[in-house]
Amino acid sequence: MSMLSLKTFTLLQTATSVGLSALAWVVTGVRPIWNGSLPSDRQRIYFANHTSHGDFILLSACLSEKERAVTHAVAAGEYWGNSRLRRFIAEDMLSSVLINRQWTKPEENPIEIMLSVLDQGHSLILFPEGTRNMTEEPLLAFRSGLYNLSMARPEVELIPCWIENMSRVLPKGQFLPVPLLCRVVFGAPVAVAPGEERRAFLERAHATLLALNPRPERDD
């Protein structure tokens, strides 16, 4: 869909948001660290490392209730949209924005879908690696979406967020979380500099996010 219509949180979405945030605090004792930015009502794109399906829940738990109501995680439609149950969970319960990485129709263009969310005044949680990182590398190369969104909507703040330990709390293939302390480090905003080319920006954004890792000697 080229134009995604968003409404105020439904009762189900509100209850899910509050419940998952409370669960995240209980299980992980998640601690937000604001290192160069502060909580704000300003429209933002939070971009983060991605190792677990629970990443966006942990990040969302660090936001205020008001911010959570207008902040949507971008998720892979190939996974979350391949069954009615998964789509119900992603869209109706979690208020996620589903995009298809292997799109063929103009109305499925991921950038246009994300721009339609931003144009309604909402914020996004984006994982610019494009997939969960199951490798030994701390952070995969970024895909071009972050650059394209920033060029199209330069007024939207880009906030790097390093999510620590979530892959250990909710390992791949597991559904029951393992209690473990987690942190989310929010860095200073980044923006495309005048005349900066795509590759240079993506490499700089990648380095900025990687520098937020509080334990660089460990794989998180």
Question: How is residue 93 annotated by DSSP?
Answer: I
Domain that holds residue 111: 33-210
The average confidence (pLDDT) of the chain is 86
How many structural domains are present in the chain?
Answer: 1
22-68 confidence digits (pLDDT tens):
766 666 668 899 999 999 999 999 999 998 878 888 899 899 989 99
Q: What is the pLDDT of residue 220?
A: 47
Instruction: Tell me how far apart the alpha carbons of residues 211 and 188 are, in angstroms, rounded to a whole number.
Output: 11
Residue 25 is assigned to a structural domain of this protein: no
Residue 24 is assigned to a structural domain of this protein: no
Q: Which residue has the higher pLDDT, 130 or 6?
A: 130
* 115, two tokens: 């721009």
Q: How confident is the model at residue 2 (pLDDT cuts 50, 70, 90)?
A: very low
120-130 confidence digits (pLDDT tens):
999 999 999 99
Q: What is the pLDDT of residue 94?
A: 82
Residue 3 is assigned to a structural domain of this protein: no
Residue 78 is assigned to a structural domain of this protein: yes
Q: Which residue has the higher pLDDT, 12 or 35?
A: 35
Residue 159: name the closest of 126, 192, 188 by CA. 188
For residues 94-113, average pLDDT: 90
Residue 154, pLDDT > 50, answer yes
Residue 181: name the closest of 161, 166, 196, 195 by CA. 166
Q: What is the pLDDT of residue 196?
A: 98
196: CATH: 3.40.1130.10
Q: What is the pLDDT of residue 28?
A: 65
Q: Percent of the chain beyond pLDDT 90?
A: 54
Residue 16 is assigned to a structural domain of this protein: no
Residue 191 is assigned to a structural domain of this protein: yes
Q: Which residue has the higher pLDDT, 3 or 100?
A: 100
The residues, ordered by sequence, that sit 6+ positions from 139 with a Cβ below 8 Å of its Cβ are 49, 129, 133, 206, 209, 210
Terminal Cα distance for the chain, rounded: 34
Residue 76, pLDDT > 50, answer yes
The residues, ordered by sequence, that sit 6+ positions from 48 with a Cβ below 8 Å of its Cβ are 55, 56, 59, 125, 126, 127, 160, 161, 162, 163, 184, 209
Residue 151, pLDDT > 80, answer yes
Instruction: Tell me how far apart the alpha carbons of residues 44 and 59 are, in angstroms, rounded to a whole number.
Output: 13
Residue 17 is assigned to a structural domain of this protein: no
Residue 15 is assigned to a structural domain of this protein: no
165-214 confidence digits (pLDDT tens):
655 545 555 555 555 678 899 999 999 999 999 999 999 999 999 999 98
